[in-house]
Structure 1
């Protein structure tokens, strides 16, 4: 319901209050508060980071923020009942990648909370690119993947000596040989995207691991979803 004041004819005199039902397109969306904390995964020290949240429905930027350098915290407000991709980057660190299904409403006193641990940019460190998506049973990259891959391009541009391995992983659905081939093609697809953006090919190795290195159980859909992943390892 919306209200307005008017002194139009037919009223009680002076400014009268009127109400009317808002049509659906004009009604405000339910929102929730999201509070996050960015920190060094090994030491727990808070970090200043550039945080982006994207609506995975359409790939658009929903909001962006910087975490406080003293506390590592950030606070944003987002429409609820949606799935968001979160990407955080900090100088000297691999970026953080995750996605969240945000349901229900909350306020500043009781926000949706996120932990954002960051790994230092050093040899052997690995991150999963949780917002790189492919067509089912295909190595075709979906457009929603481009934002995250562009962040990887930026990381490589800022660190000219950095070399990485792109690793493709699958769940155990289907044949082992087919999964191995699919993982290799997906890793090559990511490598190809990075090269198309100007990154030298000799800085990127691509390797498929098939179903051989699960990150979770293959007995549940949630576990299989975690196992279908693309990883980046610092060489």
Structure 2
């Protein structure tokens, strides 16, 4: 009888140990460490001469957080292109330097922590001796001299450009975006307080057009954003007018209107403070979201 009681006691203790240990094991298995694609976003752009728009090979681009931590540093190749993988939840300072040029610092922020990509970032460096223009072959100077002026068509829509003109403007690399991704089209810039495109926006427009042409089934949403300066209702209307101008450019060049929807958010979705001009210009932007691939 004593032996039986001892065996029962051992069995009970074993069951208690199993009961205490098992939940820990189970809980440990139900909490895997996961990573999300939204934890990393790409920043792509080019470093060019502010006057000639030609690439500056050998320029150094450094991306650091506002706290001073360096997230990446690159020496750009012959085409002036750079690419960083950054945390979209952070705000960065881009520091660009090149021999013979004035260094620049610029704040940069992604639209939100869900932004996947920011492309077409153009960093323009001025020569240290502004009175000495960059030396180029005569043919190149002739091509650059008659750079297209501001659009004369209604609603600020610029004319389509030929291949040689795009090459001179240093067109950014081909646009790639997946369904659900939001991409900042920061290079698409407008005249202040107007829905008229600046000539410098043309390369990014051509890039967007090429993306729509090479992906005939893609449907996108273009969203316009402003800072908080001025009348709220006017800013809402202006943001919608600006993306409508981009849509008209695409439609004019053969893209079906049904593939493009537009929305104006005005100042309601800022990505930076509106306390200074430096940060307000980050809020003035056009974004593209791929709705259907």
The TM-score normalised by the length of structure 2 is: 0.47
Stretches of structure 2 that go unaligned for 5 or more consecutive residues are: 1-36, 58-73, 81-97, 105-115, 129-173
Runs of 4+ in 1 over 6 A off after TM superposition: 41-44
Q: Does structure 2 conserve the Cα–Cα contact (< 8 Å) formed by 1:182 and 1:210?
A: yes
Aligned to 2:54: 62
Pairing partner for 2:77 from 75, 78, 81: 75
What is the alpha-carbon distance in structure 1 between the residues aligned to residue 254 and residue 50 of structure 2? 26
How far apart are residue 157 of structure 1 and its match?
Answer: 1.0
What is the alpha-carbon distance in structure 2 between the residues aligned to residue 204 and residue 82 of structure 1? 39
Q: SS of 1:123's equivalent?
A: coil
Stretches of structure 1 that go unaligned for 5 or more consecutive residues are: 1-40, 66-71, 84-92, 106-117
Q: SS of 1:131's equivalent?
A: coil
Larger Rg: 2
Q: SS of 1:151's equivalent?
A: helix
Q: CA RMSD in A?
A: 3.5
The TM-score normalised by the length of structure 1 is: 0.58
Pairing partner for 2:189 from 98, 109, 133: 133
Aligned to 1:191: 247
Count of residue pairs brought into register by the alignment: 162
What is the alpha-carbon distance in structure 1 between the residues aligned to residue 269 and residue 48 of structure 2? 29
How far apart are residue 94 of structure 1 and its match?
Answer: 6.8
Give the number of the structure whose residues are more often helix, by fraction. 2
Give the number of the structure whose residues are more often strand, by fraction. 1
Q: Does structure 1 conserve the Cα–Cα contact (< 8 Å) formed by 2:118 and 2:185?
A: no
Q: Does structure 2 conserve the Cα–Cα contact (< 8 Å) formed by 1:80 and 1:103?
A: yes
Pairing partner for 2:267 from 211, 218, 222: 211
Q: SS of 2:77's equivalent?
A: strand
Matched, 1:96 2:134: no
